[in-house]
Amino acid sequence: MAEHDGEREVERRGPDLLTLLAGLATLLVSAYVLTDGALWVPTVDPRWLLAGGALVVGLFLLIASMRGSRRKR
């Protein structure tokens, strides 16, 4: 989706995924430090990681299929 700003065309972009993940990681680290490491962190089962990864990939594929194709100029 493009908007016109006077003479030039301004392209709108979505949120930056890398910046979002870095911000979330920063929040988690700061919460850990503020509680002096007293946060309960469960052990991670690899099967849950695999299932979560499959869920995320499936959601991305679903969202991508619903957005439709974009025209290149």
pLDDT in tens, 9-46: 767 677 778 888 888 888 888 888 888 777 666 677 78
**DSSP 3-state of 9:** strand
Instruction: Give the pLDDT confidence score for residue 73 in this predicted structure.
Output: 57
Q: What is the pTM of this model?
A: 0.40
Q: What is the pLDDT of residues 46-61, one digit of tens each?
A: 888 888 889 888 888 8
Instruction: Give the pLDDT confidence score for residue 3 in this predicted structure.
Output: 58
Instruction: Tell me the domain boundaries of the chain.
Output: 2-67
CA distances from 52 to 2, 22, 42 (A): 35, 19, 16
Instruction: Give the pLDDT confidence score for residue 53 in this predicted structure.
Output: 86
What's the CA gap between 12 and 3, in Å, rounded? 8
What's the CA gap between 25 and 20, in Å, rounded? 9
Instruction: Give the pLDDT confidence score for residue 5 in this predicted structure.
Output: 55
